[in-house]
Chain A
Amino acid sequence: MTLKELHPGQSARIDKVDARQPGVVRLMVLGLIEGVEVQYENSAIGGDPMEVSVNGAAISIRKQQAGCFSISPIASNV
């Protein structure tokens, strides 16, 4: 499963980043790397780009790049 398939409000842990795809390095510099927990906060109309947060920092990411982040969802305790 990749970040692309996450639902708004859901959290996940990043397992693997495919850094060779264009535009991914910039996102890694902003803090989206293996092992961190991300939450899908919001999106623009149509669900693309998405807004995810990591350690309190909100980052905008396009669906295309979101597909390069393999994740495992964290069950929400709501």
Chain B
Amino acid sequence: MSEINETYIPVSDIGIRRRATASIAVIGNPNSGKSTLFNRLTGLRQTTGNYPGVTVEKHSGTVQLSDTALELVDLPGIYCLGGFSTDERIAVDVLLGRIEGTPRPDGLLVVLDATHLYQGLYLLQQLMEMQLPMVVAMTMTDVATASGIDISIEVLQRHLGGIPIYPLVATSGRGLEALKEALEQIDSAPAPSIPESWPELSQTADQLMGDTANGLPRIDVIQALLHPESKRAGVLQQQHGSAKLEAIREQLFGDEPPQACEARHRYGWVNEVLREAQRQAPVMKRFGANSWRWLNRPWPATLLFFAVMALVFQAVFSWATPLMEAIDLGATLLAGQVGKLLPEGALSSFITDGVIAGVGSVLIFLPQILILFLFIIVLEDSGFLARAAFLMDRIMRTVGLSGQSVIPMLSSFACAVPAIMATRVIPNRRDRIATILAAPFMTCSARLPVYALLIAAFVPDHSIGWFNLQGLVLLGLYLLGIIGGLATAWLLKRSALRGPKPQFALALPEFRLPNLQTVLIKLWDRARIFLKRAGTVIFVVAIIVWGLAYFPRSDGIQIELQSDLARVQTTLTGEPLATEIQRLENTAAADQLAQSYLGRAGRFIEPVFRPLGWDWRVSAAVIAGFPAREVVVAVMGTIYAVGEEAEEASLTVKLRSASWPDGSPIFTVPMVLGLLLFYAWCLQCAATIATIRRETNGWRWPIFAWTYMTTIGYVGALLIYQLGSLL
């Protein structure tokens, strides 16, 4: 320690360095206003990283205090330390320091919703047993007062062994400064005393701890007793022997699940506290419920749900279209400009058709994704999504799932990647996997360009009564996706994922106006995760597909093109010359593609797709689409020699006239219908596959999903083509 004499460090610096390492977990019930408080405290000083070795994002931020800074870690909302869903288990694992490489938090900021003290105190009581320094923020105090709930902070504090409680008014931000001051003092706060709700459990835990030196922390002993299946329970068992623990559990819990006994004891304590600390029991008619009460009745609520969903879809598709067109145009213009600057060749093609087109193909999804996320976050924060799950539970039960699968399924109409990540709220792993495998069937935004092209080209623009035939076919494709997804869930729940009926116990939050800052921060956060997860995959795939379509280059074709161009320049002028140059260049591009790796692969694989009525060109486009289905239209544009950025109309004409060597048309009605069905059911998206792998922690399910969806897509297309051709 001789360096101390040699180096001068200002005292304030030492303070900051020490404090910056202190990490405070922000924890509370779902919908307790936890995220809003987190955002108010940290502002935009937030980061989203990963917990080492876990597939879940770590959401943390820095709170600037008068002369120090603390790290706040935002955790998913929970009701107890039991952890039913993946989301809840993560929160519990972080709290209890069970994630390797992530130490236990140094303190807790517990968010208590004044209108839901009942469930809030239940969690708080369990958290007190962790014996970490703790500060309680009480949110929604204004709402509580308005609905006639009168809470005595002093009495409550006395019952909680003196833990500091800070009432907050979210709308005005009152109380925030006092809370910050308390956070500043958090590590000098005394560890909370343990509430005596279940003396037998406390005594048993103390005894077990006394029996072994160097044993588990107290909270771990309690959790190990309550959760015999957990890892910690195994450690406890090694220390004490299974016979002894069996006997202890038998004595404590009888033949009932431990958590049930726990709930009885702890809620007994909660009710006792509330009797003294809460003057008036919360009125059953909840805040704001009176005038809008009828909207919660079964039929109005269900109709409202469908109306809101119709609005969301309308918005996702109509608001996003101009933005998407702008991005598309921007990418094309940029590629054109860059193409002019660079000498023709591999580098120019790589930059324009590879990099710029690749970035464009990622960005093009952003408008729809952002609008969808915005709606989902607003609906989530206003309490509407929980209602939706409640209302749709009965329908989802028919395929063996629960209402909680509804939200991921709805998200997957824009993109399956966020949908699969949204399945983390589903408690049962089997139900979660069934939902993950059903989600990619829904018609996502990447399928639409292919649908639009083929429908416009081959479905007559007839009116059938009030409906338009093209519209009906599109509707049919959406239904096909829904049917495919639900049937898949149904089948899986009856075979590989057979298990007990899914549970559906959900807290239903009341309708609340979402906080704008929270919504925007969440939107930014989810967009960033989407760009990172899906964006990188889509971009890399775009580059690979470009490489396969570009290499190898045939010099012969280029030489021939040059001589043809020289020839027409002497014979033609003006408009006909430009057209002819364009035609020659497109033909050369098509010839190059034909002998590229992609073209060769198309020819190689053609026999496989021949029974579906596809020639090598369609086969090559489909192969190019396997990693990312959105590239298909561009590949078809090149392969049919109309240029990549050609008007859809000219590609339509080409497709209609495409023929087999014997002159019969390739794109017949059965072939097109089969191709559409193939697109509806096939898993042609590397980003989705990567996400399934992450979320299921292995290759088993992504491989299954890909094989299964490709098989039924193929068989479906085969049947439609073969049967249709017989007619």
Q: Which residues on A are within 8 Å of B, measured CB to CB?
A: 11, 17, 19-20, 22-31, 33-36, 39, 41-49, 51, 53-62, 64-65
Contacts and interface: CB of A to CB of B under 8 A. Distances in A.
B504 A60 contact: yes
Interface residues of B, number: 53
Interface in B287-302: 296-299, 301-302
B328 interface: no
B88 to A, nearest CB: 11
A36 B267 CA distance: 9
Given A57-B119, A58-B507, A60-B393, A44 B298 contact: yes
B284 A22 contact: no
Interface stretch (B79-87, B179-187, B687-695): B79-87
Of B260, B391, B403, the most chain A CB neighbours within 10 A belong to B260
A27 B504 CA distance: 9
Contacts of B286: 53, 56, 58
Contacts of A59: 505-508
B589 to A, nearest CB: 57
A36 B282 CA distance: 13
B613 to A, nearest CB: 44
Given A23-B505, A53-B284, A59-B507, A31 B118 contact: yes
Contacts of B259: 25, 28-29
B116 interface: yes
A61 to B, nearest CB: 6
B263 A23 contact: no
Contact of B507 (A19, A28, A49, A57): A57
B514 to A, nearest CB: 18
A56 B296 CA distance: 16
A36 B281 CA distance: 12
Of A28, A48, A65, the most chain B CB neighbours within 10 A belong to A28
Contacts of B393: 44, 48-49, 60, 62
A60 B508 contact: yes
B263 A62 contact: no
Contacts of B80: 29
**5 closest Cβ pairs, A-B complex:** A56-B282, A19-B260, A23-B503, A55-B118, A28-B263
A77 B226 CA distance: 42
A45 B298 contact: yes
B501 interface: yes
A56 B82 CA distance: 23
A45 B302 contact: yes
B325 to A, nearest CB: 40
Contact of A20 (B117, B255, B506, B510): B255
Given A25-B263, A31-B119, A45-B298, 15 more contacts: A26-B427, A28-B260, A33-B267, A36-B271, A41-B296, A42-B297, A42-B298, A44-B390, A44-B393, A45-B394, A51-B390, A55-B118, A55-B274, A57-B118, A58-B508
A41 B501 CA distance: 25
B724 interface: no
Interface string B234-268: 00000000000000000000011101110110011
B118 A34 contact: no
B44 to A, nearest CB: 33
B125 interface: no
Nearest to B501: A22
Nearest to A56: B282
Contacts of A19: 256-257, 260-261
Given A29-B80, A31-B122, A51-B390, A22 B264 contact: no
A30 B298 contact: no
Contact of B390 (A60, A64, A65): A60
Contacts of B255: 20
A9 B206 CA distance: 46
B264 A49 contact: no
16 contacts: A19-B261, A22-B501, A25-B263, A30-B79, A45-B394, A48-B394, A49-B390, A51-B390, A55-B274, A56-B283, A56-B286, A60-B390, A60-B504, A60-B507, A61-B505, A62-B393
Of B256, B390, B392, the most chain A CB neighbours within 10 A belong to B390
Nearest to A34: B264
A25 B506 CA distance: 12
A37 to B, nearest CB: 9
A17 B264 CA distance: 10
B505 A56 contact: no
B505 A39 contact: no
Contacts of B261: 19
B309 to A, nearest CB: 16
Given A44-B302, A62-B504, A25 B260 contact: yes
Given A22-B503, A42-B297, A28 B79 contact: no
Interface in B389-423: 389-394, 403
B222 to A, nearest CB: 15
Given A19-B260, A25-B263, A28-B264, A55 B507 contact: no
A45 B506 CA distance: 17
Of B80, B122, B284, the most chain A CB neighbours within 10 A belong to B284
B500 interface: yes
Interface in B120-164: 122, 149
A56 to B, nearest CB: 3
Given A39-B284, A45-B302, A60-B390, A30 B257 contact: no
Interface in B351-408: 386, 389-394, 403
Nearest to A8: B297
Contacts of A31: 118-119, 122, 263, 267
Contacts of B504: 23, 49, 60-62
B39 interface: no
Contacts of B509: 58
Contacts of B391: 44-45
B587 interface: no
Contacts of B271: 35-36
Contacts of A20: 255-257
Contacts of A44: 298, 301-302, 390-394
Nearest to B302: A45
B119 A30 contact: yes
A2 B36 CA distance: 39
B505 to A, nearest CB: 4
A26 B503 contact: yes
Contacts of A35: 268, 271
B390 A56 contact: no
A56 B297 CA distance: 18
B84 A26 contact: yes
A47 to B, nearest CB: 8
Contacts of B488: none
Contact of B505 (A41, A46, A53, A60): A60
A30 B394 contact: no
A24 B197 CA distance: 21
Contact of A65 (B281, B386, B403, B505): B505
